[in-house]
Amino acid sequence: MFDINNFFQQLSIALLPFLAAVTFHEASHGYAAYFLGDDTAKRAGRLTLNPFAHIDIMGLLVLFLTRLFGWAKPVPVNFNIVARKKYGIAIVAAAGPLANFILALISSGLYHIFASIETSNILINKILVPLTLMAIYSVQINIALGIFNLLPIPPLDGGRILQAFLPPSKQIFMIKYERYGFILILLLLITNVVDYFIFPVIHYFVKILL
C-alpha cells in the first residue's frame, strides 16, 4: 500500500540535495564558460548559486516521481566563443558532472561523520538522522546526475565532450542531429537500458562512497 506520508517525508529530505546538485551542476557550466571568455550566463543572471535561477518545474516534477532523477534549466553558453579555446567545449561540458562528483565526495565525508556519532540524546538524534539521510541522498543524486550526463549522447554533457574531440566533419554531424538526442535518451529509459547498463555503474560508485 502506498504510504503518502512516507513519500513526502523522503521527498522533503531529498529536495535539498537535489537542489544543490542541479544548482552546482548548471552554475559550474556557467563559471567554466565565463572563465573561457563567455559572459552569456552572467548577463542572463545564471552565474549564481541561487537554486531558483536554475529550477525547471518539469525536472522538479520528475524528482517527485523518481526521487532520484531530475534536471534544471540549462545555463546559456555561447559555444562559438568557448570553442576558440582548445577543448573549450569539453571543459564547459565536463564542469557540470565534475561538480556533481565533488559534491558526492563531500557528501560521502559528511555521511561518515554523521554515522560515526553515537549519542543517546533524543534531540541530537532527531537532527542527525535527517542529516545522515540527506548525505545519503546527496551521494546518490550527484553520482546519478554525473554519470547520466556523461553518456556520449548530445545534448548531454558526454555528447559535448565527445564532440570536442571529433574532427570537424563529425562535429557538424553531431550538431545536425542533436535534436534527436532526446528521443534516444527517452528510448534508453523506456526500454530499460538504463536499468541494465547505467544503474549498476551508479550503484557501484554509490556503494564505494557509502
- Known catalytic residues are 26
Question: What is the Rg, in whole angstroms, of the alpha carbon atoms belonging to the chain?
Answer: 19
C-alpha cell at 105: 565526495
Q: Residue 100 in contact with residue 146, Cβ under 8 Å? A: yes
